Structure 1
């Protein structure tokens, strides 16, 4: 997942795009999309994420988000990216991946 930008104001609604490094078509497999969806649900229930809309494309994810009071968007996005990337890498090693 690519370059990082800082979110300095937690009061706004943000359009965020998270990309796979090299624009690899990773999310064509349901099991990888499911990791994204479950992680979004977790962030909504436990980290103060307010999710207005999202779409999972073959190699990137678009989201419209804000955060509940007392939470920081930058931290939520960081944790989401860290967790999902580790889980997807773990799953790739478990099931094997034909595309390199």
Structure 2
């Protein structure tokens, strides 16, 4: 799959640009989620930036995981906690 072989840029924003990611406990949730994905060989993370109201990722999906499934699980976990 073409999407699997290349590093992708991803941005997620908080609704209405609220500063919900300012507390460290929320930044740590994102880092824990990324760590889980890496340890379970679902993604390779090349870089990320967490700002108070959005985040940027440079990552690549690992075979056989599909981008839409990894993204769904990442967003579901990080928004539910």
The CA RMSD over aligned residues, in Å, is 1.3
Q: What 5-or-longer segments of structure 1 have no aligned partner? A: 1-7, 88-100
The match for 2:35 among 26, 35, 41 is 41
Structure with more of its chain in strand, by fraction: 2
TM-score (norm 1): 0.75
Contact 1:47 1:76 in 2 (8 A): no
Deviation per residue, 1:2-60 (Å, 9 max, x gap): xxxxxx72222101001111111011101111111101101111251110000001100
Instruction: Indicate the structure whose relative CO is greater, using CA pairs within 8 Å and at least 6 residues apart.
Output: 2
Q: What 5-or-longer segments of structure 2 have no aligned partner? A: none
Number of equivalent positions: 80
